[in-house]
A and B are shown apart, each in its own frame.
Chain A
Amino acid sequence: MKTPLPEPGAPLGHYVSDAPFDPYAAERKVEELKVIAQASQFQLMWWQFRRHRMALASGIFLIAVYLMIAISEFLSPYNLHTRNIDFIYSPPQTLRFMHEGSFVGPFVYGQTMRLDMDTLQRVYTDDRTDVQKLRFFCRGDSYRFWGLFQSDVHLVCPAKDGEFFFLGTDRLGRDMLSRILYGARISLTIGALGVMMSFVLGIVIGGLAGYHGGIFDLIVQRVIEVLQSIPSIPLWMALAAIIPVTWSPILVYVGITIILGMLDWTGLARAVRSKLLALREEDYVLAAQVMGAGSARIIRRHLVPGFMSHLIASATLTIPGMILGETALSFLGLGLRPPITSWGILLTEARSINIIALYPWLLFPVVPVVLVILAFNFLGDGLRDAADPYK
């Protein structure tokens, strides 16, 4: 390609490749291509998805986070409800490794609290002589693992008679790090459960509307239009206000999940409907009908697999909205109620400017929220690109 063109009129040089001739190259190529041709849809998606570094990293991050919430009791140094009344609004302690020039492993300095009588503020100062080495795989606050059995083993705990507040404490002296780890369990599962619910609703309702059309389709379309016409936050709030005050926190959790799921299926149902409208005209659907398959079977076995990957991608993109919805609702005091702890509940502590100015570490739950939402966005983008065969 790069060789300069010959002089005008001169004979063109005949190109012969130096590589040894292999008469079976084409057939071997077919063998290679066979792998691609026979790969399932999800295998193709995976190959495509692997190339999207950011999405892959986000996926791994999210898997790690979801694994973490399975064992948050073990990971957090304190119990969710442990109050350290001597350490109210303690600032984050710095994790150190070197003490007076020598390495002692991870430790924190002990703190002494003094009440500033002018501002009535608690002032904490490091006591440079009090080295509190952290312990690992140690016994600390007792907890009920998933409410099932009693245990007191933690990944990391403070030194005996010492404290370890990596992210500070709140107005009751509760450790923020532990609360964020516990809150992750609620905030992350609410998004996942809500999406599962809206997923099922969206496929069933959208599927029936798209496949059958007619009067059912008309009704469904109107209902979707109605639900989408009412702005989401007021609608959530109005529904959340219905949840009786007398319900137990667990029931409220279920209720909020249902509300989030009930209002979110409209987008998915629309996507399913428009896809089905196109797909139901395909010949293979006619073939299935001729063979006597019922509509439920046709939708389930023949139509839905055709665009499942798109659905999963778009569902991934709606999880952040749900997590944010829960956070906003709890922040307004309409969502979950203590003792259940979610990131939104933690943020309610940081509502006023005075508190933020004095105790900025109460804002820390913003960081995991943003990280998780970013990760879901990247993952969803990657999945959507991977599911798109025309890219």
Chain B
Amino acid sequence: MIRYILGRIAVMVPTLLLISMLVFVIIELPPGDYFESYISELRAMGEATDMAEIEELRERYGFDKPPVLRYVHWVGGMLVGDFGYSFEYRLPVSDVVGDRLWLTVLVSFVTIIFTWLIAFPIGIYSATHQYSWGDYGLTFAGLIGIAVPNFMLALVVMYFANIWFGVSIGGLMDREYMGAAMSWEKFRSILSHIWIPVIIIGTAGTAGMVRRLRANLLDELNKQYVVTARSKGLHPMRVLLKYPLRMSLNFFISDIGSILPSIISGAEVTAIVLSLETTGPMLIKALQTQDMYLAGSFLMFLAFLTVVGVLVSDIALAILDPRIRLGGGSRK
């Protein structure tokens, strides 16, 4: 087992290295750099540009050096916890992200809990009542949930919230608490706003999870051990919870890989529509303005979380499911 984990970690290193190269190339590819767009922006506003200051900034962040050196500098900095400097915000990247991070984690965490709370009962119901009207209705509703992209759902919900309640539902808190220190009132304000983004962001995830849970559970429910358990007189509920449900949860664990980064990135497009103060809109803005260290380090961080998430889910699967542990060990 330890060998398996060590092997997996050893494979992670070249993967992360490749990712960092790819991210750097992506960030470097657009023509020009942040300073060029900054200068033209200043000119457009009719302000004088202090070329000396900009040249100094350029030099300090190595924009006069060849890309390879900059890459080494960037990766080397990240290894010691220096994620670079955001030109847009005039702050170190860690400070810019840090501010929004906890809000994002809060939204995502509540969303995931919401998804689980809704998806589990529905999935179990659909699987145990296959081809009933309830199953058909829920399956259809789920398909619509998958088909409607979250940001469109956000638009539609915004429209109906406006007609029915006459409120605009953007944002995560009332305006006066923005930038204020954390307080009980601010927390209450967030709580009263958070349910709308949670429902909107959670819909597709819930629908997807119901579908997979239903499919996996149906596979298990048709197996003979279920019949055996039933014929031995075990209570149907107990049979369900004790065996097939547990077996069908493998997909749930392998989801950890994708859940980890999504906690941090927080549904970018939806967040823009709802104007949430999460990291998603920040990342998109950074990509648009070529704020390269902010965008690059953040992308890298997300990719790192994905790789770690996949590793964690693989290890968890290997621990929980002997078929994977033994099969994986002997074949490869």
Complex CA distance for A357 and B23, rounded to whole angstroms:
40
| Contact residues of B: prevailing secondary structure | helix
Asked whether A200 is an interface residue with its Cβ less than 8 Å from the other chain, the reply is no
Query: Do residues B149 and A234 form an inter-chain contact, with CB atoms below 8 A?
Result: no
Complex CA distance for A370 and B162, rounded to whole angstroms:
22
Complex CA distance for A331 and B268, rounded to whole angstroms:
12
Asked whether A254 is an interface residue with its Cβ less than 8 Å from the other chain, the reply is no
Asked whether A172 is an interface residue with its Cβ less than 8 Å from the other chain, the reply is no
Query: Do residues A235 and B19 form an inter-chain contact, with CB atoms below 8 A?
Result: no
**B interface footprint on A206-242 (CB within 8 Å = 1, 0 otherwise):** 0000000000000000110110111101110111011
* Nearest A-chain residue to B267, judged by Cβ: A233
Complex CA distance for A233 and B299, rounded to whole angstroms:
11
Note all chain B residues with C-beta closer than 8 A to A238. Answer: 26-27, 29, 287, 295, 299
Chain B CB within 10 A, most for which of A226, A334, A357, A378: A226
Known: A233-B268, A238-B27. A226 touches B18 (CB 8 A): yes
Asked whether B190 is an interface residue with its Cβ less than 8 Å from the other chain, the reply is no
Complex CA distance for A137 and B265, rounded to whole angstroms:
52
**A interface footprint on B179-201 (CB within 8 Å = 1, 0 otherwise):** 00000000000000000000000
Taking residues whose C-beta sits less than 8 angstroms from the other chain, chain B's interface range is: 35 or more
Asked whether A389 is an interface residue with its Cβ less than 8 Å from the other chain, the reply is no
Query: Do residues B269 and A233 form an inter-chain contact, with CB atoms below 8 A?
Result: yes
Complex CA distance for A233 and B295, rounded to whole angstroms:
13
Asked whether B312 is an interface residue with its Cβ less than 8 Å from the other chain, the reply is no
Interface residues of B in 247-305 (CB under 8 A from A): 261-262, 265, 268-269, 272-273, 283-284, 287-288, 290, 295, 299, 302-303
Known: A233-B269, A238-B295, A332-B272. A350 touches B155 (CB 8 A): yes
Note all chain B residues with C-beta closer than 8 A to A360. Answer: 159
B259 to chain A, nearest CB (A): 12
Complex CA distance for A113 and B80, rounded to whole angstroms:
66
Interface residues of A in 290-348 (CB under 8 A from B): 320, 324, 327-328, 331-332, 334, 347
Query: Do residues B19 and A226 form an inter-chain contact, with CB atoms below 8 A?
Result: yes
Interface residues of A in 225-268 (CB under 8 A from B): 225-226, 228-231, 233-235, 237-239, 241-242, 244
Complex CA distance for A353 and B30, rounded to whole angstroms:
32
Note all chain B residues with C-beta closer than 8 A to A234. Answer: 265, 268, 283-284, 287, 299, 302
Asked whether A363 is an interface residue with its Cβ less than 8 Å from the other chain, the reply is yes
B133 to chain A, nearest CB (A): 15
Query: Do residues B261 and A374 form an inter-chain contact, with CB atoms below 8 A?
Result: no
* Nearest B-chain residue to A381, judged by Cβ: B143
Note all chain A residues with C-beta closer than 8 A to B9. Answer: none
Note all chain A residues with C-beta closer than 8 A to B18. Answer: 222-223, 226
Chain A CB within 10 A, most for which of B19, B155, B170: B155
Note all chain A residues with C-beta closer than 8 A to B144. Answer: 370, 374
| Contact residues of A: prevailing secondary structure | helix
Choose among A233, A328, A370 the residue that contacts B147 (Cβ–Cβ < 8 A): A370
Asked whether A366 is an interface residue with its Cβ less than 8 Å from the other chain, the reply is yes
Asked whether B22 is an interface residue with its Cβ less than 8 Å from the other chain, the reply is yes
Query: Do residues A230 and B158 form an inter-chain contact, with CB atoms below 8 A?
Result: no
Query: Do residues B31 and A377 form an inter-chain contact, with CB atoms below 8 A?
Result: no
Query: Do residues B19 and A230 form an inter-chain contact, with CB atoms below 8 A?
Result: yes
Interface size in chain A (residues, C-beta < 8 A): 39
Complex CA distance for A224 and B273, rounded to whole angstroms:
31
Known: A238-B299, A241-B30, A357-B162. A363 touches B307 (CB 8 A): no
A205 to chain B, nearest CB (A): 16
**A interface footprint on B123-143 (CB within 8 Å = 1, 0 otherwise):** 000000000000000000001
Note all chain B residues with C-beta closer than 8 A to A332. Answer: 269, 272, 284
Complex CA distance for A222 and B11, rounded to whole angstroms:
9
A119 to chain B, nearest CB (A): 16
Asked whether B156 is an interface residue with its Cβ less than 8 Å from the other chain, the reply is yes
Asked whether B15 is an interface residue with its Cβ less than 8 Å from the other chain, the reply is yes
Asked whether B228 is an interface residue with its Cβ less than 8 Å from the other chain, the reply is no
Complex CA distance for A250 and B19, rounded to whole angstroms:
31
Complex CA distance for A225 and B290, rounded to whole angstroms:
26
B15 to chain A, nearest CB (A): 5
Choose among B30, B290, B307 the residue that contacts A229 (Cβ–Cβ < 8 A): B307
Query: Do residues B299 and A331 form an inter-chain contact, with CB atoms below 8 A?
Result: no
| Further pairs besides A225-B15, A229-B306, A327-B149: 10, Cβ < 8 Å | A226-B303, A234-B299, A238-B29, A238-B299, A239-B26, A328-B151, A334-B288, A347-B155, A350-B155, A366-B148
- Pick 11 A–B contacts, CB within 8 A, sort by A: A225-B307, A226-B303, A234-B265, A237-B284, A347-B152, A356-B162, A357-B162, A363-B156, A366-B148, A370-B152, A373-B147
Going nearest first, the 3 A-B pairs with the smallest beta carbon separation are A373-B147, A229-B306, A238-B26
